[in-house]
Every structure is written in structure tokens, then in C-alpha cells.
Amino acid sequence: MSKGQLSTDLLRDYVQSSRVEWLATNGQGAYAMGTAAGANTRRYHGLLVAPFGDGGERHVLLPRVEEEVYISGRWVELGTCQYPGLATPRGFELLSNFWATPEPLWTWTVEGVTITKRVALLESPDGVQLTYDASEACPLRVRVFTATRGYHSLGTGPDTPLEFAMTGAAWQSVGVWYHDIEYLEELDRGFPFREDLWCAGVFHGSTGAVFTASLGAVGTARTLSGADVFLSRVNGRLTLMAGYPWFTDWGRDTFIAMPGLLIATGRLAEAKQIFAGFLQHRSQGLLPNRFSDAGQEPEFNTADATLWAFEAAQHLWAAGETEWVESVFYPIGREIIEWHERGTLFQIGMDPADGLLYCGNEQTQLTWMDARSDGRPMTPRHGKPVEVNALWYNALRLMAGWAERLGDDGRRMKYAGLADWVGRSFVSTYWSDGGMCLLDCPGSSEIRPNQILAVSLTHSLLEPARRRELLLTVRLHLVTPFGLRTLSPQDPAYQGRYQGTPAERDAAYHQGTVWPWLAAPFALAWEREFCEPFPFPELESELARGCLSQIAEIYDGDPPHNPCGAPAQAWSMAALLMLRTYQHSRPS
């Protein structure tokens, strides 16, 4: 991954450096996140955001500190904070270097003296350490700001559960409010963006010191960056966080991201542990759609997450985990298929007329295109979405193959027969000769990317000529340098910018917005069919902008395709890793 070093000119331009983010985690549910400029621009930013209180919801505990050094007879401020119409102090004007990985590291230059600050997270218990060094020893003051609020909210009282320490320094209690601190990304997103923060006190020491804030005794240092930030243990479960800063772990995202983040990188034991956490929480043949970080019961409103688990299991099989698939996943897979045949939660079940899966109603959103506003789905796709049935067919074919390997001839014949039936129904239901593509849902006319799964999963549903037509249609209408659009620009409902109020953004979320995770299935299908790569090289360059060493959740559908949504998304990063895998696996 890119080390994320930035130029001095960029760092000292507040407009630019305040939009460059960094992210680190401790693998236990806590994270630190902010900007290269040093100012927090999101309510989710902070030096320590960690599970706290009943249910373990993440809380902003240490939003920020401000440092001053005494050089040449004066105190020089190194911090930065946004207030109405003003960024002050202006420590960003003294920055000379910043690295996002392997640990966030700032360098300031003040009258020939170089000062550095390094951030390291702690585990067991959660905490953070800030290490200050300088080319010449000088007095140092660290002003400590506290909060104890859920990370989705603003506003806090003066109490804090944290314990503070700084080597070789004296503590001076202050107890004063700093008013009207602004988070400009929240302003842009149409959310409350201003709060007051409590300054608990100031440490007086010198460079060479280590500042610690912790939920108890000082824990062990563990700072993860890059692709590793998504692997986390939450409420005792090893899992993949869907994205930062506001997503928790989602079943769909987990099983889409798992092949790239874990299996392709050889982390098979972790993949199996994560599988175990989802499998043990299954209900009526469905795996959880989402776990909240407030400790509530998992949600199951998904028609596709469970079916994505079959494809992830096949990746484990291909990586050599045949015994695990046969002994652990296959028996549960039988149960899942049986529930889908007879029908399960949210009106998810097999249509006895054609073998295809049906799901939901006008009030539900059970696919990955799940945005809602005012209680209604923004992209209604109830009925028989194309990718749900591509996944259903793929699951049946995989189960037939595993049954054959196990000598389970009765089920092999059953699953193969069902797959044959579904395959015939699929082509007659979805293929559009006029559009040279697959319909998104029966009776629809939109050109959407969901059809790509019919030719990218382990088992394809189309014969070669139609596969090529589909890929060329998708390339013409949907492919961008950063992934696939969710709707053709030629569609009257297309929205090329993800902006505005929360409701306006929800309306654009799947109506043209680009999703990087779709780059991987498209590239795989393209290479299979045309025997040439489709590499999406611009995704590599994204590691050096936005949130450094990360890939954003979404991008605008229109050029220049600005990054939007969550600045660090698991399945986006997984897509990049899978693209690298495809390139490395090609014969020279």
C-alpha cells in the first residue's frame, strides 16, 4: 500500500490537506481517524473512537489534542481546528511531512527544529499513544479535549472514562469549554456539524514524551492500516467491518470482500472464523444482513447475503479448505437450500412455477441496492432481481459439485436438476435480445450492473455469444475508471452526482453512482471471455488521495468521478486486491 507521504505545498494548503484523511485501527473495534491538516472534519473523527458502554457501541472518547512547543523564546502552536469562518490554530502551515502508514506520523519544521508526532493504538484495553520527538529538545504542552458520545451523534458532557498520562510531564486541570467547533464534511452531508468540546487539562513536559489515553491500564500497542483495518473482533466475534467510519459488519459486504481481503492473501483461518460467526447466527435459512454495534439482535433483511456465502465458500475450497467446506459448510448449505425452496423470512422463496427466487414486496429492500428515504425503497427491486437468481443458480451448482465429491448422489441429482430448471427459466425471463443484456428485474428496462454476476460467478448462466454481448453492453453504458455505474447515463432516472441532502444522496445512491466493488466481477468476466485484462489502473492511484491507503465506498457517476460516501470500504479494497490477483495469475 502507498505510504501516503504528502508534499509540503499540499499539507500547507488547508483546503487540500483537510480533505486528505487517515485511518488506523487496533483490530478490537477501536479506531483513530482524522485529516492530514490535523483538523477533524467529521463527527466520526478522533484519536480514540472505541466500543464503550452497554452494547459496545463505538464512542468518540478522545476527539483531539492541541500541541505547543517552545522555540526561540515563544510558544508555537502545532494543532488545527475549524471554527465558524476560521481555522485556528494554524499548525498546518508548519507541516513538512505526513505519512498515513504504517502509523500516522506528522512532521513540523519550526525555525530549523523538526518535531514529529506518531499515533499508535492500544488494545486490551483500548487506548491511544502519541509519541513526540524533536531534532532538538524543547518544552512541550499538550492540551487534552474529551468527549463521551456515540459516534453518530454530537454533544457531550465533561465526564470521561479515560485515564491520561504523559511521561516526564505535569498535569494541570483546566476544565473549560471550547465552543462552536465545526465538522465541514458533516455540513456538506446535510447533518448537524457543530459542537462544543471540553478541555480537561494540559500536560506540561518536553519533546521525547509519550502521551497515553486509555480505558484503564496501558494496553499493548497494535496499529493496523491499509487493508488490515477491516479485520476486527467485535463482541467476541472476529469479523470484517464493512467500512469506516460509520459502517459495522454486514453479511453481504463480508462475503463479497472475503475472497479479496482474506482468502487471496492467505488468511484462511480468519476467513473460517468469520464464517463461523455468521453461520451460528443463521435464522430460517438466512445469514445475518447486519450486526449493529449497539449489541442488538442481528438483522436478516437480505435476499443475497446468504447466497454470497456459497461463492465465498467456493473460494475457500479452491484455496485448499475442502475438508472445512465438506464438514462445516455443506451441511448448513443443505439447510439453506431447503429453506429457500419452501420459503423463509421477508417473502424470500422459490417460485414453484419456474424455480427462480422471489423476494420481498413494495416496502422492502432486500438486495444490495437498499437505500431508503421516508420509509420507502429508493430503488425498488422486489420480485426476482437478476443477481439474486444468478447467485441462486450458482449456489445450486456448487452444492451439486460438493455433493458429488462427497458421494451424496441423491442430493447431487436434486441440486443439478434444480440448477438446470433455474438456468432455463433464467435465460427466458431475463435475456433481452433488443438490449443485448439481461433485465434487472422481469419487466424492467434499466441497464444496471447486477447482470454482471450472471457471467462472473463460479458458474455462468449464459452461452458465449450472449456473454460477450452482455459484457460489451455493460462496458458501453456502465464502466468507468473506478468501477461500474449503477444505472446507464442514457436512462432518464440517471443521477451523475452524489450530493445534496441525505434524501437527495439516497436517491442517487444506486441511480448512476459508481461502486468500485463491481470492478472485480466485471474484470474477471471480461478476462474469461476475451482473454485480455481489464485492469482499472486508476483504482491503484486512489490509494494516494481521499483517505490514504484506502478505496472509497462510491464515486460520482459523472467525470471526474469524485470519491463519495464512506472514505474506506472493505469491498472496494477487496476489489483492488482481486484485480491484482487476476493480473498476477495471468500467464506471461
| CA angle at 56 for the pair 52 and 59, rounded to the nearest 5° | 45
Q: What is the CA radius of gyration of the chain?
A: 25
SS3 category, 528: helix
Query: 6-12: which pairs have CB atoms within 8 A and are 24 or more residues apart?
Result: 6/36, 6/97, 6/98, 8/95, 8/96, 8/97, 10/36, 11/36, 11/37, 11/92, 11/95, 11/96, 11/97, 11/98, 12/92, 12/93, 12/95
Helices 409-430/386-406 angle, 10° precision: 160
**What cell was used for 331?**
451441511
User: What does the alpha-carbon distance between residue 116 and residue 208 come to, in Å, rounded to a whole number?
Assistant: 10
| CA angle at 270 for the pair 264 and 275, rounded to the nearest 5° | 100
User: What does the alpha-carbon distance between residue 248 and residue 234 come to, in Å, rounded to a whole number?
Assistant: 9
> What confidence score (pLDDT) does residue 584 get?
67
User: What does the alpha-carbon distance between residue 118 and residue 128 come to, in Å, rounded to a whole number?
Assistant: 10
| CA angle at 516 for the pair 449 and 498, rounded to the nearest 5° | 85
DSSP assignment letter at 355: S
> What confidence score (pLDDT) does residue 6 get?
86
Q: What is the pTM of this model?
A: 0.96
Angstrom CA distances, 80 to 54, 68, 93, stand at 33, 11, 10
Angstrom CA distances, 9 to 84, 97, 228, stand at 24, 10, 30
SS3 category, 188: helix
N- to C-terminal Cα distance for the chain? Answer: 24
User: What does the alpha-carbon distance between residue 213 and residue 215 come to, in Å, rounded to a whole number?
Assistant: 7
**What cell was used for 131?**
509519541
pLDDT in tens, the chain (588 residues): 344 568 899 999 999 999 999 999 999 999 999 999 999 999 999 999 999 988 789 999 999 999 999 999 999 999 999 999 999 999 999 999 999 999 999 999 999 999 999 999 999 999 999 999 999 999 999 999 999 999 999 998 889 999 999 999 999 999 999 999 999 999 999 999 999 999 999 999 999 999 999 999 988 999 999 999 999 998 889 999 999 999 999 999 999 999 999 999 999 999 999 999 999 999 999 999 998 876 678 999 999 999 999 999 999 999 999 999 999 999 999 999 999 999 999 999 999 999 999 999 999 999 999 999 888 899 999 999 999 999 999 999 999 999 999 999 999 999 999 999 999 999 999 999 998 999 999 999 999 999 999 999 999 999 999 999 999 999 999 999 999 999 999 999 999 999 999 999 999 999 999 999 999 999 999 999 999 999 899 999 999 999 999 999 999 999 999 999 999 999 999 999 999 998 766 544
The residue type of 159 is: D
Q: For residue 328, with 0-12 CB atoms within 10 Å meaning exposed, 13-18 middle and 19 or more buried, which class applies?
A: middle
SS3 category, 382: coil
Q: For residue 157, with 0-12 CB atoms within 10 Å meaning exposed, 13-18 middle and 19 or more buried, which class applies?
A: exposed
**For residue 292, which of 336, 236, 250 has the smallest C-alpha distance?**
250
Domain 226-585: assigned CATH number: 1.50.10.10
